[in-house]
Amino acid sequence: MTPFCAPLQSQVVELCVSPGDTVRAGDPLVIVEAMKMEHELRAVADARVVEVLCAVGDAVQEGDALLVLGPAAAEPFTPGVAAPAVAASATERADLARLRERERFLLDVARPEAVAKRHALGLRTARENIADLCDDGSFIEYGALAVAAQRSRRSAEDLIANTPADGMVTGIGSVNGDAFGVERSRAVVMAYDATVLAGTQGMRNHAKTDRLLGIALAQRLPVVLFAEGGGGRPGDTDMPVVAGLHVGTFAAFARLSGQVPVVGIAAGRCFAGNAALLGCSDVVIATRESNIGMGGPAMVEGGGLGVYRPEQIGPSEVQHANGVIDILVDDETAAVAAAKHYLSFFQGRTADWTAPDARALREVVPENRVRAYDSRAAMAGLVDAGSLLPLRTGFGAGVHTALARIEGRPVGLMANNPLHQGGAIDADAADKAARFMQLCDAHGLPLVSLVDTPGFMVGPATEATAQVRHVSRLFVRAAHLRVPVFAVVMRKGYGLGAMAMTAGGFHAPVFTVAWPSAEFGAMGLEGAVRLGYRKELEAASEGAEREALFQRLLAQMVARGTATEMASTLEIDAVIDPAETRAWLVRGLDSARVAVPPARGCIDTW
């Protein structure tokens, strides 16, 4: 005979057996209660109840005997408490059924009219965009059961049906996980839902945003924001606030700058608070049908500034040309593809890549030294096929900027544009290049600079744009770079502009090399001849004689400023065959310290 003892201090609330009963392993014997929780004490083997030593209501201590058990047959018996076997039920529990019913309102299929209206505009729902962005089954949603803070004016049923997730879907998913693995591909994803209260910012979706932004900062996770919406929502009456200007969302979002990659996507209308968050992003991706503005029509009209349709405020062609939009795409499908491409540069190196035909680089620069050409051909010819992602293409036309890969390694790439003002750097181009340096430096991407510039743009009209301050940003930013820079002079390397493109001077980069087509001078050679030989030129007869003298002096200057002459005085490191440029960059990247630097400071929004 063996006593069956209480495993914890408790009170007997039910006896499930009587003396003489035969029980099987797993059968309940006694139910006790401790700290308001009931515990079923079960048999661990087949047995026979010999004696019951307790009664309902008895208080028992751990180790007190409750029953006396004997063997059911001749088999040995081990006393104790068995863990109950859990079997799947054929019917769903009531509490789970209630959750399923509530979750039904989160599905697009549960709101067919709202979805149909959205699709009629040629746009996707927030959940469709997230499903496209994140790897299958990887997205876990935070705060899904939130509703608008309007219980004082609307029924619970109305809020559940019409304000699901309080108009914002937030969570963590995997982006590009197939290429980079789950750990490196995790990202915080947040999408305002334009089908719910026009994607406005409510008090609860502010709380949801703040929760995810805190996780992003603590876990160093990239953030992707689908920002469409109309800004602050005045109808949330449950929160006792006057203006709501104490919310921490904007500061929390801005705090991520320079710490983790932040991607903003705009389709449709993006105004006020939604646009403010978009503007804090590292990169802004927008569709051609988007409208982006710090105030929508109601705010403009309320300020007494006139009556406008939403389509008249911040259309994409305006925002792309002025530099607000970094990547302009046709639709949300292309926007998501661009976001995945952008994020990939901050997720690591790829093993698979295809090199372009390096020999094509020999033909990029025309033999005619004054013939314009498209330097984007050089950018594409240096990097892995299909990897080039141009940024801010509508703004600062004097400099091209892009992210790309060289043998799978992410790099930043910038190049002067001879098709615009001969490659001269104006205020917009300087701003664009300086911010690009900052972006690459913040996230540890080496910089490759392709140089062909006659210098900074000059003249009265240019100086009226605050040129002095704008172009100086290039020197200040370059002086604080922590990532390696590699410079390739393709043709003109003149004056301060060329120095600014090479991180402050030709000896600042890890290496500065030149193609045979390169030519150098403290300023443009034509201008140097006219200034340096003014008296000689004025002494010559105007017309053919003066022109012949000018050309002869220019030829002498060109000869003195060739790439080989520069290399012979050690002002540059080498003159190379253009077809060898990629190989030089590969070796330079392999030998340079390119570890991601610790986070420091923010990235200028401009």
**Token pair in block for residue 544:** 């053919």
d(CA 103, CA 381): 51
Of 479, 492, 482, 404, residue with least CA distance to 448: 404
Mean pLDDT of all residues in 49-56: 94
Asked if pLDDT for residue 526 goes beyond 80, the answer is: no
pLDDT one-digit tens code per residue, 189-203: 999 999 999 999 988
Instruction: List the one residue out of 8, 4, 2 whose CA is nearest residue 61.
Output: 8
Please give the pLDDT value at position 88: 64
Is residue 494 scored above 50 in pLDDT? yes
Q: How confident is the model at residue 345 (pLDDT cuts 50, 70, 90)?
A: very high
Say whether pLDDT at 77 is over 50.
Answer: no
Predicted confidence band at 252 (pLDDT cuts at 50, 70, 90)?
very high
Distance CA 338, CA 350 (A): 17
Given the structure tokens 């704008």, which residue do they identify? 470
Tell me what pLDDT residue 235 has. 80
Tell me the one-letter amino acid at 64.
Answer: D
Highest mean pLDDT among 41-45, 306-310, 409-413: 409-413
Percent of the chain with pLDDT over 90: 75
Give the pLDDT score at 464.
95
The CA–CA distances, whole Å, from 302 to 121, 241, 298, 307, 367 equal: 27, 21, 6, 9, 60
Residue 596 pLDDT grade (very low, low, confident, very high; cuts 50, 70, 90): low
**Residues 537/550, Cβ–Cβ less than 8 Å:** yes
pLDDT at 65: 94
CATH number of 358-518+562-591: 3.90.226.10
* Contact between 147 and 159 (Cβ < 8 Å): yes
Model confidence pLDDT, tens digit, residues 419-446: 999 999 999 999 999 999 999 999 999 9
Whether domain 99-344 has CATH 3.90.226.10: the reply is yes
The whole-angstrom separation of Cα 515 and Cα 489 is 6
Q: Which CA distances in Å does 448 have to 157, 163, 231, 383, 414? A: 58, 49, 39, 11, 6
User: pLDDT (tens digit, 9 = 90+) per residue, 212-249?
Assistant: 999 999 999 999 999 999 888 888 887 777 677 788 89
CATH number of the 2-71 domain: 2.40.50.100
Residue 75 clears pLDDT 90, i.e. is over it: no
Model confidence pLDDT, tens digit, residues 80-92:
555 555 566 678 8
Q: How many of the other CB atoms lie within 10 Å of CB of 81?
A: 18
What is the CB-side half-sphere exposure of residue 379 using CA atoms within 13 A? 29
For the record, the structure tokens of 540 come out as 């010559």
Q: What is the pLDDT of residue 218?
A: 96
The residues spanned by each domain of the chain are: 2-71, 99-344, 358-518+562-591, 523-560
3-state secondary structure of 239: coil
Q: Which whole number is the average pLDDT over 524-552?
A: 81
CA 494 to chain centre: 36
Taking residues 124-142, report their average pLDDT: 96
The four Cα atoms 579, 584, 585, 591 give a dihedral, to 10 degrees, of 170
Give me the pLDDT at residue 209, please.
95
The reported pLDDT for the residue numbered 425 is 96
Give me the mean pLDDT over the 553-557 stretch.
81
Is residue 76 over pLDDT 60? Answer: no
370-392 pLDDT per residue, tens: 899 999 999 999 999 999 999 99
Lowest-pLDDT range of 93-107, 163-177, 375-389, 440-454: 93-107
b/e sequence 186-214, b meaning 16+ C-beta within 10 Å: bbbbbbbbbbbbbbbbbbbbbbbbbebbe
Letter for the amino acid at 186?
R
- List pLDDT tens digits, range 259-286: 999 999 999 999 999 999 999 999 999 9
| Token reading at 221 | 């996770």
Query: 350-366, pLDDT tens digit by residue?
Result: 999 999 999 999 999 99
| pLDDT category of residue 170 using cuts at 50, 70 and 90 | very high
Rounded mean pLDDT of the chain? Answer: 92
In this prediction, residue 133 has a pLDDT band, given cuts at 50, 70 and 90, of very high
Q: Which long-range contacts does 243-247 make (Cβ < 8 Å, 24+ apart)?
A: 244/203, 247/203, 247/206, 247/210
pLDDT at 488: 98
